[in-house]
Amino acid sequence: IAGPMLRMVRATPVSGAVETISASKLLPSATATAGRKANASAPPPAPASHVAPLPPAESGTFRVVTWNILGQVYAKSQWFTHSPRPCLKQARRWAQIHELVRVMNPDVMLLQEVDNFGDVHEPAFRDLGFDALYLQRPNGKHDGCCVAYRREKFEIVDDDNAVLKVDLNEIALSKQSKDDVERFTRDNVALAVRLRVRAMPTKEAVFATTHLFWDPAMADVKLAQARSVADTVLKVHSNAPLIVFGADLNSTLDSDVVAEFHQRSFVDSYAAVRDSSTCENKFVTNVTPDFTEAIDHLYLRGHGARVEHVLELPHATHPDVSGGLPNWLWPS
């Protein structure tokens, strides 16, 4: 279990260069921690609730966030021994998550490890101007995937396939042995929603998210899940002009899982920023003492859409993430 940081991208149908927005702008209090670990025992000043949100996306563009918010059911001190205990408390974490949503001011959110949806997150998102769809994992799991969209900007397309729910346990149905059935039954899901721009009813896009199985020793399971979810979304939405896919793939950039998306013409929205990062100073989405890597991905597939800005994530050695996540600044 890990707590990846968020990724944000603003896409536009007009060609443009990739530019970055610093993550530190989202949490001004981060500057107060200079020279000190963000997971030190004494907390830095909490982000002020009156911090102005980022300006709305310009006309003809939309801002998308993909984020594993770390389900509260997993935010346990025995799994996050590096995190100060108060940083794992649900009231603090939930308030931070909702405050970051307000400050980021996205148009669409693609979220993973969402639990307590109906009683905590859905009401908060609604108050922030979002309608949200949720798919909980099966077999008693407490978390799931969520697609939330700004209701004043988007509406769900009137189509039987507008909302696609994928149970990746179906992969196990094709297996012959009991061991393989158990091996591929991992209770992972995917959710895709086809949205229409209210101001331009002819403009549509599919927004999809998933969270693949975590265990690196079971790479074949993750690979089968990646193929299944990508192929299912492409089959159901074969005529979609644009697909935006934000996911916690639990897979690094050089993995076969990531290659599967590239082979299906999904374009990495962070490619230009990644190419400019040095090996010694690369940005990451997962930071723990045992594992620090980029395992969360945001893809575009379609014609006429380009990445205009991205959220510049902290590098592995940045003081804001030093020591691992969650910390005083980041809830996951």
pTM of the model: 0.90
Structure confidence by residue, pLDDT tens digits, 141-183: 999 999 999 999 999 999 999 999 999 999 999 999 999 999 9
What pLDDT, in 10s, does the model give residues 226-236? 999 999 999 99
Closest CA relative to residue 9, chosen from 48, 285, 123, 20: 20
Separation between Cα atoms, residue 50 and residue 209, nearest integer Å: 30
DSSP code for 142: -
Enter the tokens of residue 6: 């968020």
The token duo for 56 is 């709305």
Q: What is the per-residue pLDDT for 262?
A: 96
Cβ-based neighbour number of residue 244 at 10 Å:
28
Cα 66 to the chain's mean position, in Å?
3
Identify the pLDDT of residue 10. Answer: 65
Q: What angle do CA 55, 209, 28 make, to 5 degrees?
A: 35
Would the pLDDT of 3 be above 50?
A: no
Residue 49 three-state SS: coil
Burial class (CB in 10 A: 0-12, 13-18, 19+), 26: buried
> Which of 203, 254, 249 is closest to 227 using CA atoms?
249
